[in-house]
Structure 1
Amino acid sequence: MRWDRLFEDLEAQLALEDARELGSEVADRTRRERALLDLHTRLLANVGATSVGIRLPGRLLTGAIVDVGPDWVLLETAPQRPVLVALSAVRSVTGLGPGARTPSVVAKRFALGAALRALSRDRAVVEVADLDGRPATGTIDVVGADHLELAEHSADESRRAANVTGRLLVPFWSLGSVRRL
């Protein structure tokens, strides 16, 4: 009887130690998995989230996440008013749910330059804001490897040579957001 209790006690101690080791291993694996997540995958898992706040230097944009690329997020701040935000300009994000989603191979390649080229191809009048929040309006004429060139003109005028008041070159690393007007 005494030996039975001793063995039961030893078995209970071993089981407790096994449970502790398993808990520790699960926690360690969870930390490693989370360390592999990036902002892109977190935002991608929240496409459709409606109460998201994206803080840029000096301003806060709130709205619904419409789409996400490897280095940009499209946030609808008002009905039919999406804003393209460069992830390099994001200072913080609020309102995200848990989880992450791995992007498709095609989505991984649809970078900021490709999104800006689509706006340029449409000849859309846009407002480009730099990291300091300074806006400039016009039409994107050129999208290079690491910059865009904006033909500046009034938002209520079309892009015609007579309406262009200047040309603005904006490197991607200083781009905050682009909003179609």
Structure 2
Amino acid sequence: MRWESLFADMEAQLDAAREQGLRDEVAELTRAERAQVTLVDRLRATRGGTLRVLLRDGQTVGGAVVEAAPQWVLVASDATRRVLVPATAVTGVVGLSALAAPPPGTAERALSLGHALRALARDRAEVRVDALGVRVAGRVERVGADHVDVLPADAGPGGAAWALRFDALMAVRSG
């Protein structure tokens, strides 16, 4: 009888050690998986959700996430206004999903910031571009590899456009 209880106790200890090892392994795998998640992956998972984005220049942009790609997020600040925020302009976010979207596919990776800006140029949309040190209301005229030309609305015929580097952009507002 004594041997049976000793073996039962040893078996219970072994089972507890196995369970603890499994919990430790799951926790380590969870930490390793979370270490691979980018902020943009979480923004992409928040499509349709409401959040507030803090930009590098101190501005905040709030609203529903309409779309997100690896280089940008599009936020609906109200029923008619949209704000295109480059991922490089984001300092922090309140309201993110705890989940992460799967890695972007080939088509989604192709949706660069330049691609989104070219769509605004094609549509001849009136925009307000906030960049470090300047705010320009007008139209996107051209989009280069690393910059966008914005012609101010108050520029006369032959007026000069602002050429703004992508990495200086904080927000492009339309609507």
In the superposition, the TM-score normalised over structure 1's length comes to 0.90
Provide the aligned length of Structure 1 versus Structure 2: 173
**1:169 is aligned to 2:163:** yes
Q: What is the match of residue 28 of structure 2?
A: 28
Q: For residues 8 and 71 of structure 1, do their structure 2 counterparts lie closer, same or farther at Cα, with a shift above 3 Å needed? A: same
Instruction: Tell me by how many angstroms 1:53 deviates.
Output: 0.3
Runs of 4+ deviating beyond 2 Å: none
Match of 2:5 in 1: 5
Which residue matches 1:91?
91
In 1: Cα distance, 2:49 partner to 2:92 partner: 16
Structure 1 unpaired stretches of 5+? none
The equivalent of 2:54 in structure 1 is 55
SS in 2 for 1:166: coil
Counterparts of residues 4-153 of structure 1 (less than 5 Å):
4-50=4-50, 52-56=51-55, 57-102=57-102, 103-132=104-133, 134-153=134-153
The TM-score, its normalising length taken from structure 2, stands at 0.93
Conserved in 1, the CA contact under 8 Å of 2:151 and 2:160?
yes
Report the more deviating stretch, 96-105 or 114-123. 96-105
| 1:13-63 deviation digits (Å, cap 9, x = unpaired) | 11111011000000000011111111121111110002x000012211110
Q: What secondary structure does 1:25 align onto?
A: helix
Q: Counterpart of 1:110 in structure 2: which amino acid?
A: L
Counterpart-to-counterpart distance in 2, 1:180 and 1:77? 10
RMSD, aligned α-carbons: 1.5
SS at match of 2:34: helix
Any idea what SS the aligned residue of 1:55 has? strand
